[in-house]
A and B are shown apart, each in its own frame.
Chain A
Amino acid sequence: MSNFIFGRYLPLNSTVHRLDPRSKLLLSFCYLIVVFLANSWLSYAILIGFTLAAILSSKISLGFFLKGLRPMLWLIAFTVVVQLLFSPAGGHVYFHWTILNITQAGLVNSGVIFIRFLLIIMMSTLLTLSTQPLDIATGLSSLMRPLRWVRIPVDTLAMMLAIALRFVPTLMDEATKIMNAQRARGVDFGEGGLIKQAKSFIPLMVPLFMSAFNRAEDLSTAMEARGYRDSEHRSQYRILTWQRRDTMTWIVFLMVVAAMLATRRW
């Protein structure tokens, strides 16, 4: 279960780690838009520079980012190849067969798509590697606070997310224990054909779900006994503080955006 890349946090002590999660979340979101605004090679070069600088200042080795890319590899390859084979007309035609053709414009397009993919994945991997899942949840709920005005129960959703995150390791441990117990009884996990593999997970999933339901019942009783009524009328122990380094990061980011806009084709 250790090849879980989503939400894998690498506890290091870097500026990027210490940024306010709201700052990082908002920046990652803006970055997504910015990547789609870039169109000239120079504007892409500026974004690549920014991304590399961000990765370097997180003190996380590039290897982790490449590992993070691996599960997305097929999706990237597929998109790039489709983009290439169904190129729009334009520039030199390198290859032509029935409806498939590779043109210069197609080559450029697929290059652009590849870079966009890479930049976005790198940045979101940086977000999850440098931010604890709970901080992401806290940051998200803080950013979504205004949605309460349209009657979206932001605090309840945040509580649910926090509890789910709290129980991920507990249930993973339990899954491992159940798998070992079932292996001892002769169940083979992950062997045979697809159907057989899927079937072998029934002796894992059934006890796991039963236990999760029992835990949920215990937990709700315990929460109620500790005075929990609803998530909307509570104070917050865990608070987020916007610091100078957050402001600095945004100044740098806005300068990069300005440079990118100046160098893009209008």
Chain B
Amino acid sequence: MENIIDVQHLSYRYQDTDGRPALDDISFTVKAGEWLALVGHNGSGKSTLARAVDGLLPFSEGTVTVGGIKLTPETVWEVREKIGMIFQNPDNQFVGATVEDDVAFGLENRQISRAEMVPRVKAALDEVGMQTFAQREPGALSGGQKQRVALAGIVAIAPDILILDEATSMLDPQGRRDMLALVQRLREEKHLTVISITHDIDEAASADRVLVIDDGKLVEEAQPAEIFAQGERLIHLGLDVPFTAKLKQALQDRGITVPTGYQTTTEMEEWLWQSLSNT
């Protein structure tokens, strides 16, 4: 498969931070259709990286190529056409006065005629299960519903790449699960490439590959299972340690041999049953 995103030696420094750069010589590629998780503690530069890829930052060192187009001030709109981005705070990305107005925002920016907008808005809302909320104002929606509307806004413009910048971090656990399931479904239906920035272990576990970023540097690249095997270190990497990893650590401390690698809750449950019935 070809690389849909190619980042080479990307560095960026915010003007008002004189010290270390926010991004320090970052290189990586993303394959078309891949799901990539980006993890790292707060302030490590994840959002900065996502913004650079979407042409929202005027970086001068390094190159970003998206779908074969090299990102420059001239091509930024063309590149942005290929990327849909969802941010952390559901309220601060809701532009429209009502749900349907918000979904239409991206279409309006692309000067799509109203005759074409109406069916596209409707179809996008159907896709995320928000059709009955079309006339609602944002104040009447939960955080999870607002993020769904944001997803509908992206479905409406049909990009190739979806970037989630901690899009689930302000949602409750149920909202997170729903959102994740929705993203997984949309990804399959629309053959999206997904980059998800997250502290959530389940979200990172959905990925094909995990990139770990620390103080602006790419420090690790691995399969989710390899990353989760590192237990204690996860906290330093910026992930919330999953319950199963904590449990294994506690068992190990008591001298019990536990399986290596990452187990889901169900796998761990099974292993526990088996070891209990063996003794």
Tell me the A residues contacting B by CB distance below 8 Å.
134, 162-163, 165-166, 169-170, 173, 214-215, 218-219, 221-229, 233-239
Q: B101 CB to closest chain A CB, in angstroms?
A: 6
Which listed residue (A165, A214, A215, A235) contacts B97, Cβ 8 A? Answer: A165
State the majority secondary structure of interface residues on B: helix
**B79-108 residues at the A interface, CB under 8 angstroms:** 80-81, 83-85, 87, 89, 91-97, 100-101, 104-108
Question: Chain A's nearest CB lies how many Å from the CB of B109?
Answer: 4
Q: Are B92 and A166 in contact (CB under 8 A)?
A: no
Q: Decide if A229 touches B96 in the complex (CB within 8 Å).
A: no
The one of A163, A214, A229 that contacts B109, using a Cβ cutoff of 8 Å: A229
Asked whether B9 is an interface residue with its Cβ less than 8 Å from the other chain, the reply is: no
Contacts of A163 on B, CB cut-off 8 Å? 95
Q: Which residues from A are CB-within-8-Å of B112?
A: 235
**CB within 8 Å of A: which B141-157 residues:** 153, 157
User: By the criterion of a CB under 8 Å from any partner CB, how many residues of chain B are at the interface?
Assistant: 39
Task: Tell me if B109 and A222 are in contact (CB < 8 A).
Answer: no
Rounded to whole angstroms, the CA-CA distance of A81 and B105 in the bound complex is: 52
Give 30 pairs: A residue, B residue, CB < 8 Å, sorted on A: A166-B95, A169-B139, A170-B91, A173-B139, A215-B91, A218-B89, A218-B93, A219-B93, A221-B87, A222-B92, A223-B95, A224-B56, A225-B54, A225-B56, A226-B105, A226-B157, A227-B106, A228-B105, A229-B77, A233-B111, A234-B108, A235-B110, A235-B113, A236-B114, A237-B100, A237-B107, A237-B114, A237-B117, A238-B101, A238-B104
- Write out the residue numbers on chain A whose beta carbons fall within 8 Å of the beta carbon of B117: 235, 237
A202–B22 Cα distance when bound, in Å, is 34
Given A225-B84, A226-B153, A227-B157, 14 further pairs, Cβ under 8 A? A163-B95, A166-B97, A219-B95, A222-B85, A222-B87, A222-B95, A226-B85, A226-B95, A226-B157, A229-B77, A235-B114, A236-B108, A238-B101, A239-B114
